[in-house]
Amino acid sequence: MRNVPRIDLPTSNQWITFRRDKDLEDNEDYTDIAQRVIDDSEWPANLNIWGTYTISWTASGEPGAIRSPATAAAARINIHLHQQAFFGANNVVIDGDEPFTDD
């Protein structure tokens, strides 16, 4: 069984799933799907956490990108847990006290 590339975007009240249609003769990969996620109106552009960085890296084709279902799940879970931790915080974006760097 071959994996169908998929990236989920958790929001405060739903998960939006972006995937390649396995029935189509389409070569869309994680990079293409990540770009669709970022282009979506629900994309949290001001949320600076590992999960959103990973999706951005994937769209840009950078190292650390999503290349497997496990990494896609880890990014989804990171975003979901962050949103659950700050659920009901009046849409205040709290992303930590310092920017992420991968030195």
- List, for residues 27-82, the tens digit of each pLDDT value: 889 999 999 999 999 999 989 999 999 999 999 999 889 999 999 999 999 999 99
Average pLDDT over residues 75-90: 86
For 11-101, strand residue ranges (E) read: 15-19
Domain ranges of the chain: 6-85
Tally DSSP H helices, then E strands, for the chain: 3, 2
How many whole angstroms separate alpha carbon 83 and alpha carbon 89?
9
Residue 10 has pLDDT above 90, yes or no: yes
| pTM score | 0.80
